[in-house]
Each structure stands twice: as structure tokens, then as C-alpha cells.
Structure 1
Amino acid sequence: MGLETVIKDIMDAAQAEVTMINADADAEVSQILDEARQNAKNIMGDRLAKAEDDIARLRQQETSSANLEVKRAMLNARKEVLDKVYNNAEESIVSLPEAKQEELLKAIIEQNEANGSKIYSNKDSEELVRKLSSLEYAGNINCIGGVVIENDDGTVRLDYTYDIILKNVNEQSLKQTSDILFG
């Protein structure tokens, strides 16, 4: 065998080994690239899922917040209407005809005058209360109408002012009134 044959065999073997190393390297590069692409897809999918979850959560928060704001606005509007109804009732009481005022005061005084010795009213009703009651007139109070009856030592005060009566009726029938007005 000649030297050239040995060199050729070595070169062929080296070439085959280079080809095999290159093929292994190409396969490894291809595998690394496939893994990188798969990782990128997974990361992209995870981030996309997280972004969709964040969007859904934000949408839910915004919807809840908007619904709460609508409810708050509706409650405020209802309160305004109920306040107007209360004020209208108060104005209706104030503007009752004198005959009706006298009838109401007479009924209150007759039913409760035995429970006290002094009576109070607003300035507008003073003359009428003095006429209707046998109790000592003790002075004026700030109210839209009605009377306060008090015992001798002031320990018992029966408040029959229209303000208190209207307030109590309003508190007792607020739900009913709301149901009538708003269904």
C-alpha cells in the first residue's frame, strides 16, 4: 500500500467523521431550535392566557363598578323623590284650612289633655290652642303645628307636634311608600 492510499483512507475517514459531526451538529441545532420555538409558543400561550384573564377580570371589575354606580344613582334619585314626598306632605299639613287645623288640634287635645298640666304650640296656633285647652299655656315651640303637653314638673312631655307625627308615620311607612312609588 502506498502512502497515497493511506492518506486517502485517512482523508476519507476524516471526511466521513466531519460529515457525521456536521450531521450531528445540524440535528442538535435543529432540536435546540425546535425546543426554543416550542418554549416561545408556550410562553406566548401563557402570556396570552394571562392577558385574557386580566382583561376578563378588568372587564368584570368595570362592570361591577358601573353597576354599583348605577345603583347608587338610583338610590339617590329615589331618596330625592321620597324627600320631595315628605316635604309635600309637610307643606300640605301647613296649608290645611283653619277648620281642619282646629279639628285636628281639638282631637289631640281632648284625647291627651288629662295627661298633663301645661301645653305648648307654635305661634300661629297659640290663640286656637288657648281656646281649645283648659291647660296652662306654657309658650311657643318651633314646629309646623300640633301641641306638646307636659306635666307639672316637666318630667313627662307628650309630643303631638305634626313634625313628630309626620316623622313617625314616614319611618313606619317608608317601605310601603317606596313600593308604591317605585314598584
Structure 2
Amino acid sequence: MSLETVVEDIRDEARARAEEIRSDADERADEIVAEAEAEKEEILTEAEAEVEKQIEQEREQRLSSAKLEAKQQRLEARRDTLESVYDTVEDELTSLETDEREELTTALLDAAAVEFDDDADVEVYGRADDEELLTSIVAEYDGFEFAGEYDCLGGVVLESDSSNIRVNNTFDSVLEDVWEDNLRDISARLFDQ
């Protein structure tokens, strides 16, 4: 065996080993690329899932916010409507015809008068525009006298120093009581609940 043959064998062996290393390296590179591709796909899938989750959360938050805002607007519109109805009732009470005003005022005075002793001196207060009406009604009651105006829609406020009693029987107080007692029914009728 000549030196050239040995050199040639070593070269062949080195080439074969280099080819084997290159083949292993290519194989390992392919594995790394495949792993990277798989990892990329997994990361992409997770990122897409996360984005979808965020989109769904934002959609739910916006939907909830929109529902809440719509509910608040509905409640505000209902409150405005109820206030408008209340204001209309107050206007109607203020502009009652004389006969109807006299009848209601007398009924309220009668209902309040029972709270006082027969010998009590009772001062009667009422709406400034009703002074003439109240003076004529009060003249029919012993110990009662019109004492001045009271800021109200109508009706009477009776006071007696001797019995330390004050009765507020104004249209305002009656309306407020009726309104509070029937607000649920009023609301149901107005809004078909």
C-alpha cells in the first residue's frame, strides 16, 4: 500500500465523515426548522385565540355598556315623563274652577277641623289667590279665622296655639301622598309594564 493510497483512503474517509456530518447537520437543521415552524404555528394559534378572547370581552363590555346606557336613558325618559305628569296635575289644581276649588277646600278644611278642640282658636292659612274664598268659608266655623297666605297650590293649613297642633291639608300635601301611594300604578299605566 502506497502512501498515495493511504492518503486517498484518509481523504475518502474524511469526505465520508464530512458528508455524514453535513447530512446530520442538514437533518438537525430540518428538525430545528420543523420545531420552529411548529412553535410558530402554536404561538400564532395562541395569539389568535387570545385576540379572539379579547375581542369577545370587548364586545361583551360594549354590549353591557350599551344596555346600561339604554336602561339609564329609558329611566331618565320615564322620570321626565312622570315629572311632566306631576307638573300637569299641579297646573290643573292651580287652575280649578271656583266651584270645584271651593268644594275641595271645604272638604280639606272639614277633614282638618276635627283635629282641634271645639273651643280652640284656629288660624287658617292658604294660597294668596284663595284669600277671598277662604275668608268666606272660614266665616262658617266658630273660632276659625283666615290668618294669611301659605305657599301652596290650594287647600288649607290650620294652626292653633292653644292645642299646639298644625295640620297641613293643602292640595300639595294631598297630591304628594296620592302620588307616593300610587306611583307604581301610575308608572304601570304610563309605560304599560
Kept in 2, the 8 Å contact 1:115–1:149? The answer is no
Say if 2:141 is the partner of 1:132: no
Say if 2:175 is the partner of 1:166: yes
Kept in 1, the 8 Å contact 2:109–2:169? The answer is no
Matches within 5 A, 1:2-151: 2-116=2-116, 117-133=122-138, 134=141, 135-151=144-160
How far apart, in 2, do the equivalents of 1:170 and 1:81 lie? Answer: 14
Report the alpha carbon displacement of residue 153 of structure 1 after superposing the two structures with TM.
5.1
Instruction: Using structure 1 for the length normalisation, give the TM-score.
Output: 0.94
Provide structure 1 residue ranges, at least 5 long, that are not aligned to the other structure: none
Aligned residues: 183
How far apart, in 2, do the equivalents of 1:168 and 1:176 lie? Answer: 14
Report the alpha carbon displacement of residue 114 of structure 1 after superposing the two structures with TM.
3.6
Identity %: 37
Structure 1, residues 52-79: CA drift from partner, whole Å, max 9, x if none? 1111111111111111111111111111
Instruction: Using structure 2 for the length normalisation, give the TM-score.
Output: 0.90
Structure 1, residues 141-182: CA drift from partner, whole Å, max 9, x if none? 111100001121584221111111111211111111110011
Q: Which amino acid aligns with 2:27?
A: A
1:154 and 1:42, CA in 2 relative to 1: closer, same or farther beyond 3 A? farther
Question: What CA RMSD, in Å, does the superposition of the two structures yield over aligned residues?
Answer: 1.4
Kept in 1, the 8 Å contact 2:109–2:155? The answer is no
Q: Which amino acid aligns with 1:146?
A: G
